[in-house]
A and B are shown apart, each in its own frame.
Chain A
Amino acid sequence: MSRNLPDEQRIVITGIGLTAPNGDTLAEYRQALLDGKSGVVKFETRYMGELLAGVCNYDELKYQKKKELRRGTRAGSIGIYCSQEAVADSGLDWAAVEKARVGVYIGVTEHGNVETENEVYNISKYGYDTKFWSHHHNPRTVANNPAGEVTLNMGITGPHYTIGAACAAGNMGVIQGVQMLRLGEVDLALAGGVSESIHTFGIFASFNSEGALARHADPAKASRPFDRNRNGIVCSEGGCVYVLERLPDALKRGAKIVAEIAGYAINSDAYDYILPEPVRQAEAMRLALQRAGMEPQDVDLLSSHATATQLGDIQEVKAIREVFAGHDKLKINNTKSYIGHTMGAAGVLELTGNLPSLEDGLIHPTINLDDPDPECELPGLVANRPEQVERVDVIMNNSFGMLGINSVLVVKRFEK
């Protein structure tokens, strides 16, 4: 079913580090997903009072000094935690790794808003006198900050890229890592995505003005993709980074191979600033399959992007229905229903929650689907309780973003 690439072009995941609103390791996170445990809580936001958000509780001091935390950004800190955890999980002898041959590829939805808002607030306390504006503002807000902080913390001297791609960024970081490994630019990629977005009031305020900010008396019920009573996005922070390697390198060191990247696609809607376009989403899914040498029937599990906006969910469902018409064994789930929208981390974090199903065939459900919207009906949607299937060999992961950017990843169980 899949394309025969030379081994040097085959890229595998050999380490995972993550922080999600409901878990700071893959084991914790997966268990929370199987237990239906949400990570959405009440959250105080500057100027806006109490809202809802997915908040992470990883140990910031595990890999950083207090001074690094003070100097840097939340996005940088999340990137560092996830990257360090990924390396620890990979079993690499980090001291022996040639740091000039390591690349860092971190997807973000946005960067710099948090620090800019903080500084504007800060100078408001001093009559808007800009001499009170911090000299740390520029290093905190340059667009390469999150990936750059990872290199500073870990002594990596290879290239670092922060990839801005709205809510498609988590997949994009991984895709960039795959491309650079295939090009031979690096021998090891730390690739994924991060979100610090809950620390900027602007993202909440903008979704609110757009009528797309989720509200619910019970925080755990607020994120409800595909439900008739969905009322918008829960903003969340989070991160997930993979160690990616070319297959021969991974085999040579006897690495534990979690999965192989089978295919990917990135395209643009060229349609609207915020409205998604199902025709292009479907094209992206088909292109990813084509590159993987697969047919829609080869996909066992689709990790959907749906964010619980009225229109967005319907548009993705249209695209899925079209691509997977007649594939009655396809299972579909949605992880935002637990953790909200982790923005730049969403793609890779949601895919990661599903990776253990390659091992155990257990699929975590979409929760909060109390009153399914007929317009979002999908036959294979796993709802409210986990489902055991015979086996999962192939997972597709959708991640779409504003300005019409679509990213799709296809991963498969590794087989020689």
Chain B
Amino acid sequence: MTSEEVRKSILDIIADIAPDEDLSGIQDEVKLRDQFDLDSMDFLDIVMELRKRFNLEVPEADYPQLVTMSSCVEYLTPRLKDHQPVG
């Protein structure tokens, strides 16, 4: 996947986890938690969905890498480069 495809995949996951949120105005540099109603259980959902959709294991030490959209894309793009987009 390209970084743009990775970004789209993360957006899809957040849309499932936070179905009441309007994600159209997402700011990639702002913490996801500060923009949307997301708590620690939701971040575990993101980790779970990455595991389910891409067979990707995010070690607990790397959870801070998922704090903004930009940091997600930066962290995940090299790890998902051999994956095809899902869905």
Instruction: Identify the A interface with B (CB < 8 A).
Output: 65-67, 70-71, 126, 131-132, 134-136
Contacts and interface: CB of A to CB of B under 8 A. Distances in A.
User: Which DSSP category, helix, strand, loop or mixed, fits chain B's interface?
Assistant: helix
Interface stretch (B5-13, B44-52, B62-70): B44-52
Given A67-B18, A67-B20, A67-B37, A126 B52 contact: yes
18 contacts: A65-B19, A65-B20, A66-B19, A66-B20, A67-B17, A67-B18, A67-B19, A67-B20, A70-B19, A71-B41, A131-B51, A132-B48, A132-B52, A134-B48, A135-B41, A135-B44, A135-B48, A136-B41
Contacts of B45: 135
Contacts of B52: 126, 132
Interface in B11-52: 17-20, 37, 41, 44-45, 48, 51-52
Contacts of A132: 48, 51-52
Interface residues of B, number: 11
A89 B41 CA distance: 34
Contacts of A70: 17, 19
Contacts of A135: 41, 44-45, 48
Contacts of A66: 19-20
Contacts of A67: 17-20, 37
A325 B41 CA distance: 59
Contacts of B37: 67
Contacts of A131: 51
A71 B39 CA distance: 12
Contacts of A136: 41
Nearest to B18: A67
A67 B19 CA distance: 6
